[in-house]
Amino acid sequence: MWHKSDRGNVGIDIFGGDHTPDPTNLRNIVELLLTAHIYNQSETLTEDDLPAEIRKHYWDSREKKVKRPISVRVQDITSLYGNKNVEQEIKALPFIDFDEFGAEIRFTIPDLAKNWFVKQEDAMDKIRRNPTLASFYEKDGIDVSYEEATAYVRPKERDREYLDSLIAEIAASDDDVDLLTLVHLVAPEDVRQPIDELVLTPEQETKIEKIMQAIKHRDYLRDIGLREIGKMLFIGLPGTGKTSVARALSEKLNIPLVEVRLSMITSQYLGETSKNVDKVFELAKKLSPCILFIDEFDFIAKTRMSDEHATLKRAVNTLLKAIDEISLIDDGVLMICATNHPNLLDRAAWRRFDEIVDFPLPHTEMRKDILDIVLSRVEGDFDTQEIAGMTEEFTGSDLRMVVREAVLQSLTENRTAITQSDLISAVDDFSDRMRLMMKEYAVA
């Protein structure tokens, strides 16, 4: 539809006929150029007013921002949208000037571009999700709102690029780069399962809601002197969703997650353990606001059972002290510890948490909900209620495995649609596995 006459004097003929530009590509190119043009001119716009893809592409990790001016070159378009024939394509647009040497693309007559863009098929959709464009077109009397557009753009804190630039800054100021080998860093955008794809108990939901309110009202809590908040202990069997919930909170709150396993920071050089503990907490404070997720928390109990490691004992004391000293209210660090063995923790460890969150085995309704989520994009004719009824004692992770088995089974038979009997036989296989596991357990 782009080559209709309402596009003005667009010389399609100069195209040479061998390559017809894709209208979607042209709209993307003009959106990018317009966004750059408006962003460059308006100092009041920030990185958060740019659509995430554009922001990520132009992110300057040293300065932690998108520097002005944003210049658009052929390779920017290729890397953002995958267009291969940018040079050819932009020839279809009369208001674009192409600098053959610098490969930079500019508007000759910006007003022409603005008018052309707003008449395009899905322009309104694009403008409504692009605060930079919305700010311009709103003033121009078009029915769009900058306010509403900002709601579509996720904040820069979600981006991997943002986290990476924080890390680069820390690495540059710290001789000890090994620090980053001790932890696993997750940016909100890295999280695959958002909180609404996890099936939670009402109790879990309440506790999560409470902590989110605490984070939102941090200043108020500090003002009234309520600081003992923001340390959670997740307890539950393997595969009940502890790690998934911690990550999903990072996604929900748009703050990074610093993941550390206690066994990891002791494994290499025992003598360094206390130092490592301190370093991890320091890192969390530097990345603040963030979540510090300490997995395998029961590891601290091991030290009490063998007294051969005085160094480990010292490390445990360092850890408990670090936990005491870190604060959500003052440092912006939400601490979540997780364990499969709550019974190994003594009172000294327990009393440090203001919220204990239990991850029980899912009951029948929860199992059905989990199956429905995992199967939501799987084709086939099946009854999740029946499967839920036959999977007592299965964890969320077990149920995912059952689905995986059923899908693989159907694929080996050249089907993509699964059947109820695929699921049932996957449950049977899994139950056999569990029996084998129990058998080994009994021998040991």
Ligand X SMILES: Nc1ncnc2c1ncn2[C@@H]1O[C@H](COP(=O)(O)OP(=O)(O)OP(=O)(O)O)[C@@H](O)[C@H]1O
* Residues at the site binding Mg ion, with contacts judged by CB under 5 A: 242-243
400 near ligand X (CB under 6 A) = yes
Decide: helix, strand or coil at residue 46.
coil
194 near ligand X (CB under 6 A) = no
Cβ-count burial 305-322 (b if 16+ within 10 Å, e if not):
eeeeeebbbebbebbeeb
Of residues 387, 382, 380, 373, the one with CA closest to residue 416: 380
Which is closer to ligand X, CB of 79 or CB of 385?
385
Report the residue from 238, 267, 392, 433 that binds ligand X according to the rule CB under 6 A.
238
242 near ligand X (CB under 6 A) = yes
21 near ligand X (CB under 6 A) = no
375 near ligand X (CB under 6 A) = no
Output the smallest distance, CB 294 to Mg ion, in A: 11
Structure tokens at 326: 């870190």
Output the smallest distance, CB 363 to Mg ion, in A: 21
Q: Which does 240 bind (CB under 5 to 8 A by kind): Mg ion, ligand X, none?
A: ligand X
193 near ligand X (CB under 6 A) = yes
Q: Where are the extended beta strands (E) located within 143-226?
A: 184-186
As a whole number of angstroms, the distance between CA 98 and CA 107 comes to 9
Q: For the chain, how are helix, strand and coil distributed in percent, rounded to 5?
A: 60, 10, 30
Residues 6+ apart with CB under 8 A from 424: 387, 390
Residues 6+ apart with CB under 8 A from 277: 265, 315, 318, 319, 322
Report the residue from 120, 244, 266, 288 that binds ligand X according to the rule CB under 6 A.
244
Report the residue from 144, 199, 249, 283 that binds ligand X according to the rule CB under 6 A.
199
As a whole number of angstroms, the distance between CA 299 and CA 295 comes to 9
Q: Which does 241 bind (CB under 5 to 8 A by kind): ligand X, Mg ion, none?
A: ligand X
Stretch that binds ligand X, among 43-51, 122-130, 251-259, 392-400 (CB under 6 A): 392-400
Given a contact cutoff of 8 angstroms between Cβ atoms, the answer to whether 124 and 144 are in contact is: yes
Stretch that binds ligand X, among 239-247, 267-275, 311-319, 328-336 (CB under 6 A): 239-247
Report the residue from 382, 396, 418, 427 that binds ligand X according to the rule CB under 6 A.
396
309-348: contacts with ligand X (CB under 6 A): 340
370 near ligand X (CB under 6 A) = yes
Output the smallest distance, CB 81 to ligand X, in A: 32
Which is closer to Mg ion, CB of 58 or CB of 353?
353
Stretch that binds ligand X, among 17-25, 30-38, 103-111, 389-397 (CB under 6 A): 389-397
- Residue, CB closest to Mg ion: 243
Report the residue from 198, 253, 406, 426 that binds ligand X according to the rule CB under 6 A.
198
Given a contact cutoff of 8 angstroms between Cβ atoms, the answer to whether 2 and 26 are in contact is: yes
Report the residue from 236, 256, 326, 422 that binds ligand X according to the rule CB under 6 A.
236
As a whole number of angstroms, the distance between CA 262 and CA 336 comes to 13
- Residue, CB closest to ligand X: 396
Report the residue from 239, 279, 367, 391 that binds ligand X according to the rule CB under 6 A.
239
384 near ligand X (CB under 6 A) = no
Q: Which does 199 bind (CB under 5 to 8 A by kind): ligand X, Mg ion, none?
A: ligand X
Which is closer to ligand X, CB of 21 or CB of 241?
241
Output the smallest distance, CB 238 to Mg ion, in A: 7
Q: Which does 311 bind (CB under 5 to 8 A by kind): ligand X, Mg ion, none?
A: none
Structure tokens at 29: 């190119």
Is the peptide bond preceding residue 69 cis, with omega within 30 degrees of 0? yes
Of residues 339, 364, 365, the one with CA closest to residue 352: 339
Cβ-count burial 393-423 (b if 16+ within 10 Å, e if not):
ebbbbbbbbbbebbbebbeeeeeeebbeebb
Report residue 139 CA to chain centroid gap: 34
Given a contact cutoff of 8 angstroms between Cβ atoms, the answer to whether 51 and 129 are in contact is: yes
Q: Is 441 exposed, middle or buried (0-12, 13-18, 19+ CB in 10 A)?
A: exposed
Binding site residues, ligand X, CB under 6 A? 193, 198-199, 236, 238-244, 340, 359, 362, 370, 395-397, 400
